[in-house]
Amino acid sequence: MSAEATSPGARSRRRGRTSIDLRRLGRAALLGPASRDRLPDAIGHVADAHRAHHPDADLLVLGKAYVLAEMSHRGQFRKSGEPYITHPLAVTLILAELGAETTTLTASLLHDTVEDTDVTLDQVRAEFGDEVCYLVDGVTKLEKVDYGAAAEPETFRKMLVATGNDVRVMSIKLADRLHNMRTLGVMRPEKQARIAKVTHDVLIPLAERLGVQALKTELEDLVFAILQPEEYERTRAVIADRATTGPSLDTIAEDVRRTLREADISAEVVIRPRHFVSVHRARLKRGEMRGTDFGRLLVLVGEDADCYAVLGELHTCFTPVISEFKDFIAAPKYNLYQSLHTAVAGLDGAVVEVLIRTHQMHRVAEAGVVALGNPYTPVDGAEPADGERADPTRPGWLSRLLAWQESATDPDTFWTTLRADLAQDREISVFPADGGMLGLPAGATCVDAAYAQYGDDAHGCIGARVNGRLATLSTVLADGDTVQLLLAQGPVQAPGDSGGPGPSPEWLDHARTPAARIAIAGWLAANPESLKVPESEPRAPGAVTAGRRGVANVVVDVPEDATVRLAGCCTPVPPDDVTGFLVRGGAVTVHRAECSAVGRMAALGRSPVAVSWGDEAECRVTLYAESFGRPRLLADLTEAIATAGAAIVSANVEPPSEQRVRHTYTLQLPDAAGLAGLMRAMRDVPGVFDVRRAQHEPAS
Task: For the chain, count helices (H), then strands (E).
Answer: 28, 21
Kindly tell me the sign of the dihedral angle through the C-alpha atoms of 613, 614, 615, 620.
negative
Main-chain dihedrals φ then ψ at residue 568, nearest 5 degrees: -75, -20
CB 256 within 8 A of CB 297: yes
At residue 229, φ and ψ (nearest 5 deg) are -60, -35
What is the distance between the alpha carbons of residues 310 and 91, in angstroms, rounded to a whole number? 37
Which whole-number Å values give the CA distances from 384 to 369, 387, 388, 395, in the listed order? 21, 5, 6, 19
> What is the maximal distance between C-alpha atoms in the chain?
124
CA distance 689 to 663: 12
CB 665 within 8 A of CB 568: no
Burial of 176 from C-beta contacts in 10 A (0-12 / 13-18 / 19+): buried
Gap between the terminal Cα atoms of the chain: 69
22 within 8 A of 237, measured Cβ to Cβ? no
Pairing relationship of beta strands 469-471 and 461-466 according to DSSP bridges: antiparallel
Pairing of strands 608-609, 611-613: unpaired
Query: Please, where are the H alpha helices in 211-349?
Result: 213-227, 229-241, 249-262, 276-286, 304-317
Rounded CA separation 461/447 (Å) = 8
The catalytically annotated residue of 41, 112, 116, 560 is 116
Q: Is the peptide bond before 575 cis (omega within 30 degrees of 0)?
A: yes
Strand partners, 581: 589, 608
Residue tagged active-site, from 41, 115, 131, 618: 115
Q: Is 116 in the active site?
A: yes
DSSP secondary structure letters along 549-617: -SS-SEEESS-TTS-EEE-TTT---TTS-EEEEE-GGG-EEEEETT-HHHHHHHHTTPPEE-EEE-S--
574: left (phi over 0), alpha (psi -120 to 50) or beta: beta
Coil, strand or helix: which one is 305? helix
Cα–Cα distance measured from residue 77 to residue 97, given in angstroms and rounded to the nearest whole number: 25
What are the catalytic residues?
A: 115-116
